[in-house]
Amino acid sequence: MVVPSSPGDPGAVTPSRSRETVAGERPATFRTVLAVPEFVALLAGFGVFMVGETAKMLALAVLVYDRTGSPLLSAFAYVVGFLPHALGGMLLISLADRWPPRALLVGYDLLRMASVVVLAWGVLPPAGMLGLVFAVGLVAPASTAARNALLPELLAGDAYVLGRSLFTVAAGATQVLGFAAGGLLLDLVGPYGALWLTAATCLVSALLTRFGLAARPARSATGAAPAGADGAAPAPTAQRGGGAERRVSVVRETWRVNRLLLADPRIRGLLLAQWLPGDLVVAAEGVIVPYVSELGLAAGAGALLAASALGMLTGELVVGRWVAPARRERLTPWLALLLGTPMLAFVTRPGLAVATALFALATFGFGYQLGLARRFLAAVPESRRGQAFGLLSTGMMTAQGLAVGLAGALAEVLAPGTVMALAGVASLIATGLLWPQLRPEPTAADPDPDSSPSPADAPAPHPDAGPTDRPAPAPELRVPASDTDKTP
C-alpha cells in the first residue's frame, strides 16, 4: 500500500486494496442485484424518468416547430434539456453531496413535473418554453450524480459493476421506448397531451424514489439541506445568509471540489481514462448522416446508429455479467483499443453492411469502462462521491459534444469516412497515452500495518446490504484554509 507523501498533501488519495479482493471474486448475477429492493426502486425510477424525458423533448420539438415553423428552433428545442448539463456540472453538482440523496432526487422529479405542467398549459411563448426547460436542466447533473453515487451504497463489490451496467442498458432501452411512446402519443393526443402524460411519469418517478429508497443524510457537512429534509441536520453554511448566499456557496463549493478532484493525479488519470478513448470514437456518430448520404443510402443512418447502440449495450452486458472481475480489469486496456481499431477501416469507405458491423464491434469496447468502475469508486473520498460522479458525467457529455462538433467541422473539408477513421486514430492515441491508467493496478504486497486503516475507520455497511468487500475509503480531500467558508 502507498501512503500519501505527507499528511498535508491536499487531495492525496491512498490506492485501495481492491485488486486483492478482485483476484478471487466471481461475477455477480442478475438475481443478486435484483434482490436488493432499493436498487430495483432506483432502476425503475430511472427508467420511468428516461421514458418521460425522451417523450418530453420530442413533444417540445414538435410543439416549437408547429408554433414557429423554424427547423432551427425545433432542433434546439430537442437538445435544450441536455445543453445545460455542462453548465450545471460546473456550478451546481456539489448539491449531490450537500443534500440528502432521496430528497434531491424527489425534489428534481417534482421540479420537472411542475415545469412540464406549465409547458402543457400552453401559456408560454416558444422562447419562454425553451428558457424554462434550460433552467430546469441546470439541476440535472446534480440529480444524476446523486443517483450514481447511491449505487455503491446499495450494491457491494462486483454487484456494483453489474448494477452500473444495467443502468447503461436501461438508459439505451428506455430512450428507444421513449421515442416509440412519444411518437405514438403525438399521433393519439398531440404534443400537449403528450406533455401531460410526461408530467404523470415525473410523479411516478418521484413516488418510486420516495417510497422505494431509505432516507440517508447528506454526505458532506459543508452545506446540507434545511432541517427536516430526510433527517439531515443543517450545516453552518446552510444556516447563514438565506437562499442567495447558499447558492453562492454551492457554486464556490462546486468549483473548489472540482479543482481538488482534478488536482489529484490518480483521480485525474481515471477520469481521463473514462472520458477520452470512448468520447473520441463517439465523434464518428456525428458524421454518420453525410457518410450514408455519400453511399446513396440516406435511410441507412438509422442502421448505423442502432448498431452503435446495440454494440455498446451488448458490451456492457457481456463484460458486466459474464467476465470475472479480475479478468475484466486485465481486459480493460484491450477493450479500449477495440473502440478505435475497427474505425480505421472507414478510410476505405465500406458499404452499409460492413459499416454496420464495424460500428457494433467498435462500441462493444465501451465495456472497458466497467473495468475502471471500482478503482474510481475507491479513489474518491466518500464525502465527495456525488460530486466526483457528477464531474465524471459532466466531463463525458462535454467531451462528446466537443468531439462531435469537431468531427462535423472536419467533414466540411474531408470525406466523412476519413473523419471516422481519424476518430479511431484519436481514440487509439488516447488509449496509448492512458495505458498506465487503464492497466489494472498491481496487487499490493503485505501492507504496512501502521498505514492500514483500522476496522474502526471503515464505513459501516448499509443495513439492507449483504456481506461487502468494499475497499478502504479514500482520505478526505483537504481544502486549503483560504478557500474554506468561515462561519462566525
Q: Are residues 299 and 345 in the same domain?
A: yes
Reported confidence tier of residue 351, pLDDT bands at 50, 70, 90: very high
Distance CA 272, CA 390 (A): 14
Same domain, 33 and 76: yes
Q: Is residue 139 part of a domain?
A: yes
Q: Which residue range is the domain that position 277 belongs to?
A: 264-442
Do residues 172 and 307 both lie within one domain? no
**For residue 292, is it within any domain?**
yes
Band the pLDDT of 338: cuts 50, 70, 90.
very high
**Which run of H or of E encompasses 318?**
helix 301-322
Q: Is residue 293, in this structure, part of any structural domain at all?
A: yes
Q: How many domains does the chain have?
A: 2
Q: What is the pLDDT of residues 11-24, one digit of tens each?
A: 333 334 444 455 55
Q: Would you state the cell numbers that stand for residue 450, as one nine-digit string?
A: 501502521
Asked if 336 contacts 438 with a C-beta cutoff of 8 angstroms, the reply is: yes
Residue 394 lies in a domain: yes
Same domain, 24 and 157: yes
Q: Is residue 209 part of a domain?
A: yes
Q: List Cα–Cα distances, 227 to 6, 224, 248, 373, 457, in angstroms.
A: 37, 8, 20, 34, 27
The answer to whether 426 touches 418, Cβ cutoff 8 Å, is no
- Do 250 and 373 sit in the same domain of this protein? no
- Claim to verify: residue 214 and residue 313 sit in the same structural domain: no
What pLDDT is stored for residue 247 in this prediction?
42
If 0-12 CB within 10 Å is exposed, 13-18 middle and 19+ buried, where does residue 63 land? Answer: buried
pLDDT of the residue at 179: 66
Average model confidence (pLDDT) for the chain?
Answer: 80
Confidence of residue 427 (pLDDT cuts 50, 70, 90): very high
Q: Are 164 and 42 in contact (CB under 8 A)?
A: no
pLDDT surpassing 80 at residue 232: no
Same domain, 250 and 390: no
Q: Is the pLDDT of residue 90 over 60?
A: yes
Least-confidence region, from 161-170, 307-316, 448-457:
448-457
pLDDT tens-digit series, residues 373-417: 999 999 999 889 999 999 999 999 888 888 888 988 898 899 999
Q: For 40-52, what is the mean pLDDT?
A: 93
pLDDT more than 70, % of the chain: 77
Catalogue the E-assigned strands of 82-163: none
Give pLDDT tens digits for 167-217.
Answer: 988 887 876 676 667 677 788 888 899 899 999 999 999 999 999 999 999
- Tell which wins on pLDDT, 447 or 481: 447
pLDDT in tens, 273-308: 999 999 999 999 888 888 988 898 877 887 888 888
In angstroms, the CA 478 to CA 376 distance is: 18
* Same domain, yes or no: 71 and 143: yes
CATH number of the domain where residue 286 is located: 1.20.1250.20
pLDDT in the model for residue 62: 83
Q: Please tell me the predicted confidence (pLDDT) of residue 53.
A: 86
Is 318 among the domain residues?
Answer: yes
Q: Residue 241: is its pLDDT beyond 70? A: no
| Inside any domain, residue 466 | no
The pTM score is 0.75
- Between the two ends of the chain, the Cα-to-Cα distance in Å is 40
pLDDT at 243: 42
pLDDT at position 430 over 70: yes
Dihedral sign, Cα of residue 48, residue 53, residue 54, residue 60: positive
Q: Give the sign of the dihedral formed by CA 290, CA 316, CA 373, CA 167.
A: positive
Whether residue 273 is found in the same domain as residue 215: no
Distance (Å, rounded) from C-alpha 203 to C-alpha 115? 12
Q: Among residues 89, 358, 106, which one has the least CA distance to residue 207?
A: 106
What CA–CA distance (Å, rounded) separates 187 from 200? 18
Q: Compute the distance between CA of residue 134 and CA of residue 140 in angstroms, rounded to an integer.
A: 10
DSSP secondary structure, 329-381, as one string: HHHHHHHHHHHHTGGGGGGG---HHHHHHHHHHHHHGGGGGHHHHHHHHHHSB
Residue 167: the pLDDT is: 92
Residues 253 and 388 in one domain: no
Is residue 216 helix, strand or coil?
coil
Angle at alpha carbon of residue 387, lines to 384 and 388, rounded to 5°: 80
- Which stretch, 61-65, 222-226, 274-278, 293-297, has highest mean pLDDT? 274-278
- Residue 284 per-residue DSSP state: G
Q: Are residues 348 and 394 in the same domain?
A: yes
SS3 percent helix, strand, coil of the chain, rounded to 5, is 75, 0, 25
Mean predicted confidence (pLDDT) in 234-243 = 39
Q: Do 247 and 302 have their domain in common?
A: no
In a domain, 479, yes or no: no
* Per-residue pLDDT, 24: 56
Per residue in 77-88, pLDDT tens?
766 666 788 888
Integer Cα distance of 424 and 211 in angstroms: 45
CA 379 → CA 101, 326, 431, 439, distances in Å?
21, 18, 20, 15
Maximum mean pLDDT: which of 89-93, 229-233, 292-296, 343-347: 343-347
Give the model's confidence band at 221: pLDDT under 50 very low, under 70 low, under 90 confident, else very high.
low
pLDDT band at 222, cuts 50/70/90?
low
- Supply the pLDDT for residue 72: 66
Confidence class for position 73, pLDDT limits 50, 70, 90: confident
Q: Give the span between the Cα atoms of 450 and 221, in whole angstroms.
A: 28
Q: What is the DSSP string of 219-283?
A: S-SSS-PPTTSTTPPPPHHHHSSHHHHHHHHHHHHHHHHHHHHHHSHHHHHHHHHHHHHHHHHHG
Among 65-69, 227-231, 283-287, whose mean pLDDT is lowest? 227-231
Percent of the chain past pLDDT 90, that is, above it, reads 51
